[in-house]
Structures are given as structure tokens and as C-alpha cells.
Amino acid sequence: MQYNDPTYGLQYFEEILIGVILIIGISAFLFFFFTFYKRLKRLKEERIKTAYQKIIDHQLFVYLFEDKPREVIIENPEFSNNLSSNLFKRLSIKSIISLHQNYSGTYRKKLENFYADSGLSDYSLKRLNASYWVHIVEGIRDLSGMNYQQAYPRIVSYKNHKNEMVRTEVLLGMIKLKGVAEITKFTTSELFLNDWVQSNILYLIKNEHIPPPGNFEELLNSKNGSVVVLAVRLINHYQIAELYQTLSGFYQKTTNKKLKREIALTLKKTEQIS
């Protein structure tokens, strides 16, 4: 029989070996092909990004420093013809936000108006409809960072989102748009404001020079323990002297070690506590 022929086994082995070599060869070819294709695609995208960025930088410079009406910039074909590209929109928003963080007064307001009137705010609003939480966070951050007040109801609607990062960004966005008093809307919330979140809130308040709220008592009586700790840190930041006596009473009553430590740090310089 054919199976007893010693040459048959050798032939069968050779066929298997050739098949393996072909598979390896095809796999290697496909790997190098797709690697080369991805590299070409990335280089093309970089060239497009560079071209877009040049247009954006020029148009924003003209708008800010040559006092051109924003309608002229928005309707300029160099700008308007590229607004169909999501990449162009993302780069524009990134550039506007960067400038917004580095300027104040009239320049800042001009950038906010440009963001709203150019339709870039609509792109950020659409990000809120995304299924991926990172895009929702990005949308909230852009809208609140650019002081787009019309987005406030949409942002608040995500207050109880299942993702903690989204809920945290909602709180930061609410503070940016409406002030520190917005924290009271979380006094009965189960959202835990850990030290990282609280440091972000305090940094935001310091960086944006947000004035103190008028409802510290409500924060101190919160059922959310992390909000109470934040309230103490805010009193320390704003140096609300009229509340030092209240904090002293809190210190005597509370058994929460972390809260005691925060109150002690706040009252240390006031001689309200020994």
C-alpha cells in the first residue's frame, strides 16, 4: 500500500513543510505590508495636521490681534471649507482652549464667542452623545472650559452617570460654569470625592479665581462625608474667619480622624484649637 512506502512519509513531510513556509511567508508579507501602510497613513495624517494647524494658527492670530470680525474669519474659505473635517474641528478646539487658558479679559471673551459662533461648540455637544466615556469627558471639559453656558443643562444631566470619571468631570464643569455653590447639589450624592478629585477642585478654584459660595453651612451639614472634608478645605482656602468657631465645634464632636486632621490644619493659625 501507499502508506507502507517509505517515500510517502517523506513526501508528506515535505508538503507540510512547504505549507508552513508559505504560511510564514504570507504572514510576514502581510505584516510588513500593513506596517508600511500604517506608517504611510500616519505620515499623511501628520502632513494634514500640520497644514490644518498652520491655517488655524493664522486665522486665530488675525482674529485676536488684527481685530478682524469673527464673522470674517468664520466665513473665510480657508477656515470654513475645512470645518467638515472632525480632525480640523478637534485641532481648532484644542488651539482655542490653549489660548483661552493663557489669556484673560477681552481676548478670553473673544475666544469664547468664536468657539460658540463658529459651530465648534456643536461638535463638543455631540461628544456628549458618545457611547465611550472618554469622549463624554472631553466634551464636558471643552464646553465648560470655554464657558459655554448653554451646555449647562446637558452637563448636569450626566450627574448620575454610571462612570465615575464622567461624574467627576460633571462636578468640575458645573463649578466652572456656575461657581463653587454647585457642590451643594452633591451633598446627598453617593459620589465619593477622593483626595485626587478634591485637589482638582481646589486647583480649578485657585486657577480660575472662583469666588467663595455663600452656603458653607449647607456643605458642612452634608450627608456626604467627603463633601464635608472638602468644605473644610474650602474654608481654609478662602480663610472664612467667621466659620472658625463653627469648625472648632465640629472638631470637638466628630470622630472622623481625617475630618479632625483637616479642621486642625485650618484652625492651627487661629488659636481656636490647642
Same domain, 186 and 263: yes
Percent residues over pLDDT 70 in the chain: 93
CA distance 154 to 142: 13
Q: Label residue 140 left, alpha or beta by phi (over 0 means left) and psi (-120 to 50 means alpha).
A: alpha
- Pick 40 or 207 by higher pLDDT: 207
pLDDT attached to residue 5: 57
Residue 140 contacts residue 170 (beta carbons within 8 Å): yes
Same domain, 190 and 259: yes
Cell numbers linked to 183 = 457642590
User: Which residues, at least 6 apart from 1, have a Cβ–Cβ distance to it below 8 Å?
Assistant: none
pLDDT attached to residue 116: 95
Same domain, 198 and 274: yes
Same domain, 231 and 203: yes
CA distance 88 to 140: 19
- Pick 256 or 189 by higher pLDDT: 256
Same domain, 172 and 225: no
3-state helix, strand, coil in the chain (%, to 5): 75, 0, 25
Please indicate, yes or no, if residue 6 is contained in any of the structural domains: no
Please indicate, yes or no, if residue 108 is contained in any of the structural domains: yes
Please indicate, yes or no, if residue 27 is contained in any of the structural domains: no
Same domain, 192 and 266: yes
pLDDT attached to residue 273: 47
pLDDT over threshold 50, residue 274: no
Same domain, 155 and 195: no
Domain that holds residue 133: 119-178
Number of domains in the chain: 3
Other residues' Cβ atoms within 10 Å of the Cβ of residue 145: 21
Residue 157 contacts residue 187 (beta carbons within 8 Å): no
Same domain, 195 and 161: no
Please indicate, yes or no, if residue 33 is contained in any of the structural domains: no
CA distance 109 to 115: 10
Same domain, 167 and 141: yes
User: DSSP secondary-structure letter at 180?
Assistant: G
| Average per-residue pLDDT for the chain | 88
Please indicate, yes or no, if residue 1 is contained in any of the structural domains: no
Residue 202 contacts residue 221 (beta carbons within 8 Å): no
pLDDT over threshold 90, residue 23: no
Please indicate, yes or no, if residue 125 is contained in any of the structural domains: yes
Residue 266 contacts residue 247 (beta carbons within 8 Å): yes
Same domain, 93 and 154: no
The tens digit of pLDDT for each residue in 146-193 reads 999 999 999 999 988 989 899 889 999 999 999 999 998 888 877 788
Please indicate, yes or no, if residue 22 is contained in any of the structural domains: no
Q: Using alpha carbons only, how large is the chain's radius of gyration in Å?
A: 29
Same domain, 172 and 110: no
The CATH number of residue 160's host domain is 1.25.10
The tens digit of pLDDT for each residue in 46-103 reads 899 999 999 999 999 999 998 888 899 999 998 999 999 999 999 999 999 999 999 8
Please indicate, yes or no, if residue 18 is contained in any of the structural domains: no
The tens digit of pLDDT for each residue in 1-12 reads 455 555 656 676
Q: Length of the chain in residues, anyone?
A: 274
Same domain, 207 and 271: yes
Domain end, chosen from 161, 178, 195, is at: 178
